[in-house]
Amino acid sequence: MKKTKFLLATVLYLSFFSVLQAQEVRSKVNEILANWILPVFAFICVGAAIVGIVKNYDLIVDSQGEGTSTKGWINVGKTVLYAFIASMAVSSVITVIASINLSI
């Protein structure tokens, strides 16, 4: 009888402890997401703009006078747009993962 009470008390204690720990982990994840999501988006968009400018530099400068400057800037805009859409998709997946209820 003593052994059963001890096991029951141990199981209840561990289950209570694991629920508290799961809630703590979830709050930490939400805190990290809230503090880092805007800088990450900004870094991705600026990085995409830099990559787009470097890749389309010849079109933007238009050294041969062919009128390709507009096409180069449109390509840069497309690159930034694709990077923004990809980061939004990743963000939505992270939001879905963060909203999962961790109950043990």
Task: Give the mean pLDDT of the chain.
Answer: 77
Per-residue pLDDT of 21-33, as tens digits, reads 555 666 776 777 6
Question: pTM above 0.75?
Answer: no
Residue 25 lies in a domain: yes
Residue 104 lies in a domain: no
Tokens 């961790």 belong to residue = 102
Residue 6's pLDDT band (cuts 50, 70, 90): low
Q: Is 11 exposed, middle or buried (0-12, 13-18, 19+ CB in 10 A)?
A: exposed
Percent of all residues in the chain with a pLDDT value above 90, rounded to a whole number = 5
- Domain extent for 11: 2-98
Q: Which two tokens stand for residue 89?
A: 């998709």
**Based on the structure, what is the number of domains in the chain?**
1
Q: Which two tokens stand for residue 60?
A: 């933007």
Residue 103 lies in a domain: no
Residue 86 lies in a domain: yes
The rounded radius of gyration (Å) of the Cα atoms in the chain is 26
Please say if the pLDDT value at position 94 is more than 60: yes
Residue 96, pLDDT score: 78
